[in-house]
Structure formats: C-alpha cells, structure tokens
Chain A
Amino acid sequence: MPSLISSFKRSAPQLTFGSITLAAVTLTCLYLHAHFAATAFAYLLVVLLFSSMGSFIASSALCIIAIAALAYYFAPPAFTLRIDDARDLLVVIAFFIVSIVGTYLIGKLRQEREAARVAAAKLQRSAADLEDREKRWRAIFEHNPAMYFMLDEAGTVLNVNTFGATHLGYARAELIDHSVVGIFLEEDRAFVRKCIRTCLEDIGQSRTWDVQKVRKDGSVLWVRENAKAMLWADDRPIVLIACEDITERKQTELALQRSEAHLAQAQELSHTGSFSWNATTGEAFWSKETFRIFQLDPQTNPAPQLVVERTHPDDRASVKEIIDKAMRDLTDFEHEYRLLLPDGSVKHIHAQARATRTASGEIEFVGAATDITAARTAEQQLRRSEAYLAEAQHLTHTGSWSWDVHALDFVYRSAEVDRLFGFNPQEPVSIETVRSRIHPEDLPRLQEVQRQAIEHEKERFEYDFRVLLPNGGIRRIHSVAHVVVGSDGNVSELIGTHMDVTEQHAARERLENTLVALRQSEQRFRDYAETASDWLWETGPDHRVTHLSEHTSAAGILATGLMGLLRWDIACDIEEEPEKWRQHRTTLQAHLPFRDLVYRTVNRTGSPIYVRTSGKPFFDGNGNFMGYRGVSTDITATIRADQAEQELRKAQAELAHVTRVTTLGELTTSIAHEINQPLAAILNNADACLGWMARETPNLAAARSSVEWIIEDAIRASEVIRSVRALAKKGEIEMVPLDINEVVRDVIALVTRELVSHRVGLRTELAAALPRILGDRIQLQQVIINLVMNGIEAMDEVTDRPRELLIQSSKDDLGNVQLAVADCGVGIAEKDADHVLDPFFTTKSSGLGMGLSICRSIVEAHGGRLSLLKKNEPGATFQFVLPVHKEALQ
C-alpha cells in the first residue's frame, strides 16, 4: 500500500505536468500546422521526458493521450480518431512502440539508479547499527545481572562477564583461560563436566541445571545454569553458559520443601488432611493425607461431592446440608461425621473450613479434616471403661477418691463416694458438708490416721468410719488408701477407696452373736452334761477309752490308768452279769446308742462303786464310725439309797397295814351296822316271803321278789365283809388304773354309818369323766377313810351349825386328779398346820398320830402330794393330787 501511495504520489504530478506539456505541444503544433510526424516526434520527446519522472503507468497514460491527440488532431481526417492513412497509422504504431519502450527503458534505468542509491545508504546505516548493537550487546553481556561464561571444549573459560566474575569475587582475568571447574565444589565437578559434555554432544540444544558455585572467599552460592553449545565461526564448538544466582530461591525452595515435608508429616501424624475449594471456579485441592483419610486415589479429581459419597449413610444428610449451606452462604463451617469406607470400616472425621477471599476476589474454602477415629474410639472406650468402673463401684459399693493435702479438698471423688455419703452425685457438695456426714466419734480418729499416713508417707493405710445418713441410718465404710509423693518429695495427695461394709459388719456381728450363742449353747450343754453326770468320756472305733473329763465337782472318783481300756476291762461285774455285758457289746458292735448301763467298778481308792453310763456313737463327715461319746455318773449313793428306801417302804407298808387294822377296829361298830342292815333286810324279806306263801292264795310273785331282795342284800353284806377283809389284808401293793370316784364310793359304803352316828351330813361333788390314775385301791381307800374319819371327828364338837362333810373330786390345771375332803369342824391351829402331816403328830388324846403321816406316804408313793388347804371358812380341807395314769391319757 505505501508503495502504491508513493507511486500515486509520483504519478499524479507526472501525469498532470505531462498532460499540460502535451496540450502545449498540441496547441503549438496546431498553431504551426506542424507535420504529423514532427508532432509525433514532439509528443515522443514529451512522453520520454516525463517518463524519467518515474511512473510507468503515468508514462503509459501520457503515451495513450499523445496517440489519441495524434489521431484526433493530426491524422487525417482531422478531429476524428480515425486514421485513414496507412502511413500515419505506421507512424502512430511506431510512436506507440518507441514511447513504450523508451518509457520502460528510462523507468528501468531510473529504478536501478535509485536502488543503488538506496543500497549505499542502507550499507552506511547498517555499519553504524552494527557498531551500535555490538556496543549494546556488550553492555548487556557485561552488565546484565547474570553470570555469563563462554567455554571451550575443554571447559576453559574463554570469556566471562564482569558481573559473573565480580559476583564470584574474581577479576575477569583471573578466570579467563582457567578451567571453569575451579569455581565448583569438589564433589560437583564431575557433574559439571558431564553437563558440559552433554551440551557438546548435542549442539544447539539448551540445558539447564542447578549447582553450587564456590566464591573466591570460599562461600557457596546456588546457581541455575542455562547452557548451550554452539559452533564458533571457525567451526570450533564453544559452550555458552548463563548463570543465575538462585541461592535465595533455593533456600526458600528448600525451606518450602522442608516445611511441605513437615506439613505432610504433620498431616500424616495428626491424621489431618487439608483441602481447599474455590467456590467460583469449582477448583479443589486435597492434601495427600486428605486422600488417605478418605481412602481415595490421589489422582482422583477432588470435589465436595466425594465427601458426601464417602460419608456414612446415617450422617450423609447432615453433611450434605452443612456443605450446601456453606456453599450457599459462603460462611465458615465445622462439623463431625462418620465415613463408611469401601472395606466396611467406619472413621470419625472432624472437619473445619474457613471461607477466604483470594487475591482475585474469589471465595475459597480452606480447611482441614481430621481423622478422630482413634480419639473417638479411645473416648468411647474411656467412656465405656468409666461406665464399667462406675457400675463396678456401684455394684461393689466402692467409691474412689483423691485428696489434695495442700488444698484440703478432693481432687477427685467418684459418684459412688457421694452415694455412700448419701448425696446425689449430680449436685456439688462442699467439703464441710461431706465432713458433717462423718460420725463425730469417728472424725478425730480418721483425721489422725490420715495425718500419720502423711507424716510417715505410708504406702498403704486403712481405717473405718461411720457415715450418718440423712434418713438416720448408719453406713459403715472401710477405707484403704495410700499417699502420693509429689515432685518436691513431699506427700501431695492421698488416693484411696471407700467401701460400704455395712452388710459385712452386720454379718460379722451376726456371726459374733452366733458364736457367742454357740459358746453359750456349748456351755449350756456342758452344764447339762456336767449336772447330769460326773464325767464325760469318749471311746475310739475300737471302743477303748480315748478321753475322760471329770467334772470338778466329782473329781477324784475315777481310778487312774483307764485310758486305752475297754469298758468290760474296767467293770468288776462281768462274771456276775454276763448277759448284760453280752448285750452291751452287741449294742456297741451295731453302733447303737445305749442308755443307763449300770455296772460296778472300783474308784481311785479301790472301793467298789456303781456307775451308770449312757453313750451315743459319733461319725465323721463321711459317715465313718469314730467311736462313742457319753456321760457317766457314780450312782453308788443312789443305789444304796434305793436299798434303804426299799427297806423303808416295807416298813411303811407294814405300818400302813397296822393303821388300817387299827382303823378297822375303830370302824367295828360301823362295819357291824353295815352288815346288820342287809341282814335285817334279809330277815324281813325271808319272813315276808313266808307271809306271802302262807296266804290263802299264796302270792308267789311277791314271794319271789322277796327272795330276790334277800339275794341282793346277802351280796351287799358279803361286799362289806370283802372290803373289811381287803383292808385287813397284808397283801402286796397292786397298782392298777383306777377311777377315783369308784374308790370314793367304796369308802362311803364303809363310813356311812359312822357319818350317821355322828350326825354328819355327807355331800359329794364328784367330777364326771375323770381320767384314771394308777394306784392301789386299798391304800387309796385307806387314805380317804382316814381323811373322812378325821373330818367326822373334827366336827364332834360342832353344835351351832350343820355338820357337813364334803368329798370333792376334780381335775387341776395340769390335768392331775385331785380329791379333797372338807369338814366344818374345829380346824387346824395355825401353829400346827406345818406339822399336821408329820409322823406322831396328833391333837387327839388317843391315837398314835400316824394316820395322816401314813396317808402322806401312800400318796407320795403314788407320785402325788397330800396337803392341807387353807381356807377362810371354819374347818379343815385335806387334799391329795395324783398324777394321771400315762396310758389312760393316750
């Protein structure tokens, strides 16, 4: 375009001035009527002249104009463009050819001349430029803050820039023509040579490496070298090296690398991954640890969606919600959630992110995700083990505590401790309140124990105290504790446990009580045994004596040297009573208990003694026979007493007989009366019988009745005689079951007349259905007769009131049968009351005074008791009580 414009700029004046010249020539020629050929020649001159001005086109245009003018003005016919004359036409053609060729040649000439001029100017300019550029390059080479080296194949420095030399502390001359490896560390030189060689092998190819250089002063700097080998003009290869001091960058880089490594390590160690996410671009970055935590390939393109996918289904909704909210509001967020990993394991994650604004003004989340699984697991385990501990403490009623001896307060107190003190573990309790719960009697001792423990730095100490519960109850605590010595060598803490031993205490008390009871019981049985016997013995499985324990009260009876002997070795009556001993040995062999075996032996002084012994076999836990244990009593005295009693009883029986006979004597009149009555009736009836028979018409029925009555009365008479004979009989005592009321009726038969003759009214109150007693009919009759006769006699002097005798049978509270004979006579004087039953005591002028005494003997021989009852009414009441016959009871 510029050439076009310049060409136009040149053509325009050429064309204008050429046209004007042509017009002038035309006018001139016209005016002169110049020849056509001359005119053409003139035109040719003009065109050639103006063609020297430059433009070929303008020249061509002037040529065309000239031809047109020739044809129009000068070629006949004039004023038309038609040329009829062939010669003219030849002239025009020749004009055209000459003008074009001339124009072209002139233009060409002018162009070449112009080109030569331009080339000369350019050459001149380029020489100046070269010089200028060289100057500039040299300045750049010299002053660019980079070190430039130029080496030959051998590594010799061909050139170095001033900056390079200066930076290394050298003058250029000191480096040039020296091997370049001299400015490298010894250990790097091989590397440098290799790098140069590599460059030379591949000429034109740039190489870059980082290496350290040594300054003249020995200090080291990091450089990045860009090297390239090239061929010098003479085809000699040279190596150009540009060095950049990257010491600072290297240090920064190293520091960065180190800090990155630290960070990565820290992330790995802390299981914390970092991440960032650009909310605008969606660009995300995850650290290696983040990928590891999420168990994702580090090549994966990180995105928030991955987090949601990895999240445990249970937490997914909340995580998604938090992330969505953060993205929406562009705010910080922090949350915890679980991951469900492909291997099925679960991880706990704590993630935290901050919304920051980048340099370009975009919102970016930067955060960290920490794998807190271990902590969470540990926390759970801790919580579980704490729960277990609390449960264990609760179950065992054991609380643990720690006491700060300086602060005088608990450092730690388990919930169970509070419970033991009756506090609600949820509520804070002051130390004073705790102390107030300790029994005031126990507090000083407790404090003293702790004080001593602190003073002597006791490894372990124990104490007991009581806790006063709010409900008034008492809890017993057993405490075990030890001291903790602090870094200063002094006791800093007491650590211990409180155990609720209330139940154990109660159990121990019960046990102690039981033991006391057991001891008492043992003593009681020992007392029983000692009371009931004179010594205790034990024999072994072979029935030989293994143990003898004489009671103090009976000490000295046993002969010495009895240990190891058999019972039948000790006894002296084997020959006299072989059957007894045979039976005894059978019993022992059968391991059966025996009772009241009486045998004779000798005592320590050699005197014969009677021993009564009872024994019981005993067995071990497996039921094996171990021997016998038993008691023995010296019954020598009893046996002698028995013999004496038998004598006495005999005498008593005789005495009783004598008294009976005496009584009979006293009763003679009555007995006669008793016999006379039936006899009188018999006689009456016999006479009546005769009378009935002797009638004109004998009344046989009446006669028969009369005879029957005779028989009845005869029987009655014989009964009386039998009773009298029985009383008079000196017979054996015959103990049989008896109805006391029958005995009373027998007696009444004998004493009726006595009552009548003494004008004594008899009243009987005999209880029905009395149990039978075991006794001798005659002896009991004797007793009752005696009491009745005494009563009758006692009322002889009574004239002012009816004489009444009461015989009363009844049953006492214990079920014994009792019989009372009461009179309303003179009674017994107070002073005589205690002696009235004694032998030979009498208030009568006649009589031996044996009656009541014999009665008492008889009653007592029946196991009963005769007594004088005291009463307010006049008279005396004697009563005897007899035990009920055992068989009758059943």
Chain B
Amino acid sequence: MSTPLISVVDDDASVRASTENLLKSRGYVVQIFASAEALLRSPHLNETSCVITDVQMSTMSGLELLAEMRTRGYDAPFIFITAFPNERVRASALEAGAIGFLAKPFGGQALIECLDTALKAHGGRGDI
C-alpha cells in the first residue's frame, strides 16, 4: 500500500516548515501549501490522505477549505491547528467533521496521534 500523502496548509512559513519537518521525521510523505487555494489548485488533491490546516488564514479559512473539499467530494480527514483557540471555532470544526483540533503551540506527539487517528478513521488508506 502506498504511503499516505499528508497536505499541510498554513500561512505561517515557519509553522508550515516545522510541521513538514515533524511529519517527515516520522516517515510521512508531506506536501505543504501557503493557502487553502493553493491546496485546491494542487494536482495531487485527490491523493491527499489527510489535511492539516490552520484555521485563520487571510482569504480562505481552514473551515471554508473543509467545506469546499466536501463540496467537491473529497472526504480526506481534517486536523485543525490554531493560534486562536476558542470554543466556538473548535465546536464548528468538530461539527464539520474534523478529526482533531489543536491549539498552537502543541506537542508533536499530539499531532502524530491525531494524524494516526485520522488515517485509521479514513480506512485502509490510513495505514503506513
């Protein structure tokens, strides 16, 4: 089985790069995007096994990205990470079907666990 492709969307370059670094150190295949639109334009969109995205981004937020993906028929699991954690956003994220909702800063382990959960929930495709 092929290695699952993880898509990371964050408008903060260092967070984006460090997340990629973390996932790669755990053996995941990662592609990173500076915005939601960049991911939507990606030719590998349908290969994405999981989307890790920031919530607050200038044009399209993480929640809107989720909605758009679902609208387009993609069912890849979503993990939200945010520097502005609040309950309202958390609730709407989970309600929209997010697997995880992490507040920055978060421990690497928490993300991995959440990712593993997501991949498993996403069926066979989640296995490494």
| A interface residues, Cβ below 8 angstroms from B | 669, 672-673, 676-692, 695, 699, 702, 705-706, 709, 712-713, 716, 753, 755-757, 759-762
Q: Which of B11-54 contact A (CB under 8 A)?
A: 11-12, 14-15, 17-19, 21-26
Q: Tell whether A681 pairs with B83 under 8 Å between CB atoms, given A676-B105, A687-B108, A756-B57.
A: no
By a CB distance below 8 angstroms, the chain B residues around A712 are: 14
Nearest CB on B from A761, distance (A): 6
B24 contacts A669, C-beta separation under 8 Å: no
Residue in B17, B24, B83 whose beta carbon sits within 8 Å of that of A673 in the complex: B83
By a CB distance below 8 angstroms, the chain B residues around A702 are: 21, 24-25
A672 to B56, CA, bound (A): 14
Residue in A672, A687, A699, A761 whose beta carbon sits within 8 Å of that of B58 in the complex: A761
A713 contacts B18, C-beta separation under 8 Å: yes
By a CB distance below 8 angstroms, the chain B residues around A761 are: 58-59
B108 contacts A684, C-beta separation under 8 Å: yes
Nearest CB on A from B9, distance (A): 14
A691 contacts B56, C-beta separation under 8 Å: no
B83 contacts A688, C-beta separation under 8 Å: no
A753 to B104, CA, bound (A): 14
Q: Tell whether A757 pairs with B56 under 8 Å between CB atoms, given A673-B83, A677-B83, A680-B106.
A: yes
Nearest CB on B from A369, distance (A): 133
B25's nearest neighbour on chain A, judged by CB, is A691
A757 to B85, CA, bound (A): 12
A759 contacts B58, C-beta separation under 8 Å: yes
A selection of 17 A-B contacts at a CB cut-off of 8 Å is: A677-B83, A677-B104, A680-B18, A680-B83, A680-B106, A681-B14, A681-B15, A685-B22, A687-B22, A687-B111, A688-B18, A688-B24, A690-B108, A702-B21, A702-B24, A706-B25, A712-B14
A690 to B105, CA, bound (A): 17
B18 contacts A709, C-beta separation under 8 Å: yes
Counting chain A CB atoms within 10 Å of each CB, which of B12, B59, B107 scores highest?
Answer: B12
A674's nearest neighbour on chain B, judged by CB, is B83
Nearest CB on B from A705, distance (A): 7
Q: How many residues of B contact A (CB 8 A)?
A: 27
A692's nearest neighbour on chain B, judged by CB, is B25
By a CB distance below 8 angstroms, the chain A residues around B109 are: 687
Nearest CB on B from A697, distance (A): 12
A792 to B104, CA, bound (A): 24
B26 contacts A681, C-beta separation under 8 Å: no
B22 contacts A688, C-beta separation under 8 Å: yes
Residue in B24, B25, B57, B108 whose beta carbon sits within 8 Å of that of A683 in the complex: B108
B81 in contact (CB, < 8 A): yes
By a CB distance below 8 angstroms, the chain B residues around A716 are: 14
B104's nearest neighbour on chain A, judged by CB, is A680
Q: Tell whether A753 pairs with B22 under 8 Å between CB atoms, given A680-B104, A681-B14, A713-B14.
A: no
Nearest CB on B from A750, distance (A): 14
By a CB distance below 8 angstroms, the chain B residues around A682 are: 18, 105
Q: Tell whether A684 pairs with B21 under 8 Å between CB atoms, given A677-B14, A712-B14, A756-B11.
A: yes
By a CB distance below 8 angstroms, the chain A residues around B111 are: 684, 687
B25 contacts A681, C-beta separation under 8 Å: no
A684 contacts B83, C-beta separation under 8 Å: no
A673 to B55, CA, bound (A): 12
A678's nearest neighbour on chain B, judged by CB, is B14
Give 10 new A-B contacts, CB below 8 A, not counting A683-B18, A684-B18, A706-B21: A676-B105, A677-B14, A680-B15, A683-B108, A687-B22, A692-B25, A702-B25, A709-B21, A713-B14, A759-B59
Nearest CB on A from B90, distance (A): 16
| B interface residues, Cβ below 8 angstroms from A | 11-12, 14-15, 17-19, 21-26, 56-59, 81, 83-84, 104-109, 111
By a CB distance below 8 angstroms, the chain A residues around B58 are: 755-756, 759-762
Nearest CB on B from A763, distance (A): 11
A400 to B88, CA, bound (A): 118
B59's nearest neighbour on chain A, judged by CB, is A761
Residue in B15, B84, B108 whose beta carbon sits within 8 Å of that of A686 in the complex: B108
By a CB distance below 8 angstroms, the chain B residues around A713 are: 14, 18
Residue in A683, A690, A757 whose beta carbon sits within 8 Å of that of B106 in the complex: A683
By a CB distance below 8 angstroms, the chain A residues around B104 are: 676-677, 679-680
Counting chain B CB atoms within 10 Å of each CB, which of A669, A684, A712 scores highest?
Answer: A684
By a CB distance below 8 angstroms, the chain A residues around B56 are: 753, 756-757
Nearest CB on B from A792, distance (A): 12
Chain A contact residues: over half helix, strand or loop, or mixed?
helix
A687 contacts B84, C-beta separation under 8 Å: no
Counting chain A CB atoms within 10 Å of each CB, which of B26, B56, B58 scores highest?
Answer: B58
Counting chain A CB atoms within 10 Å of each CB, which of B12, B56, B83, B108 scores highest?
Answer: B83
Nearest CB on A from B38, distance (A): 15
By a CB distance below 8 angstroms, the chain B residues around A689 are: 25
A759 to B11, CA, bound (A): 13
A338 to B25, CA, bound (A): 140
B83 contacts A676, C-beta separation under 8 Å: yes
By a CB distance below 8 angstroms, the chain B residues around A692 are: 25
A685 contacts B84, C-beta separation under 8 Å: no
Counting chain B CB atoms within 10 Å of each CB, which of A681, A691, A756, A762 scores highest?
Answer: A681
A687 contacts B11, C-beta separation under 8 Å: no
By a CB distance below 8 angstroms, the chain B residues around A683 are: 18, 105-108
A685 contacts B21, C-beta separation under 8 Å: yes
A681 contacts B18, C-beta separation under 8 Å: yes
By a CB distance below 8 angstroms, the chain A residues around B24 are: 688, 702
A680 to B111, CA, bound (A): 11
A690 to B17, CA, bound (A): 16
B109's nearest neighbour on chain A, judged by CB, is A687
A446 to B68, CA, bound (A): 109
By a CB distance below 8 angstroms, the chain B residues around A672 are: 83
By a CB distance below 8 angstroms, the chain A residues around B22 are: 684-685, 687-688, 691
A36 to B26, CA, bound (A): 253
A709 to B18, CA, bound (A): 8
By a CB distance below 8 angstroms, the chain B residues around A680 are: 15, 18, 81, 83, 104-106
Counting chain B CB atoms within 10 Å of each CB, which of A680, A686, A709, A762 scores highest?
Answer: A680
Counting chain A CB atoms within 10 Å of each CB, which of B26, B59, B104, B109 scores highest?
Answer: B104
B21's nearest neighbour on chain A, judged by CB, is A688
A679 contacts B105, C-beta separation under 8 Å: yes
A709 to B16, CA, bound (A): 12
A687 to B109, CA, bound (A): 7
Nearest CB on B from A686, distance (A): 7
B86's nearest neighbour on chain A, judged by CB, is A669
Nearest CB on A from B11, distance (A): 7
B26 contacts A691, C-beta separation under 8 Å: yes
A761's nearest neighbour on chain B, judged by CB, is B58
A702's nearest neighbour on chain B, judged by CB, is B25
B12's nearest neighbour on chain A, judged by CB, is A677
A691 contacts B108, C-beta separation under 8 Å: yes
A679 to B106, CA, bound (A): 9
By a CB distance below 8 angstroms, the chain B residues around A687 are: 22, 25, 107-109, 111
A565 to B81, CA, bound (A): 85
B21 contacts A705, C-beta separation under 8 Å: yes
A691 to B19, CA, bound (A): 12
Nearest CB on A from B34, distance (A): 13
By a CB distance below 8 angstroms, the chain A residues around B11 are: 756
A703's nearest neighbour on chain B, judged by CB, is B25
By a CB distance below 8 angstroms, the chain A residues around B18 are: 680-685, 688, 706, 709, 713
Residue in A669, A684, A756, A760 whose beta carbon sits within 8 Å of that of B15 in the complex: A684
B14 contacts A709, C-beta separation under 8 Å: yes
Nearest CB on B from A715, distance (A): 11
A679 to B81, CA, bound (A): 13
A679 to B15, CA, bound (A): 9
B108's nearest neighbour on chain A, judged by CB, is A687
Nearest CB on A from B61, distance (A): 8
Nearest CB on B from A779, distance (A): 28
Nearest CB on A from B83, distance (A): 4
By a CB distance below 8 angstroms, the chain A residues around B15 are: 677, 680-681, 684
A687's nearest neighbour on chain B, judged by CB, is B108
A713's nearest neighbour on chain B, judged by CB, is B14
A290 to B12, CA, bound (A): 140
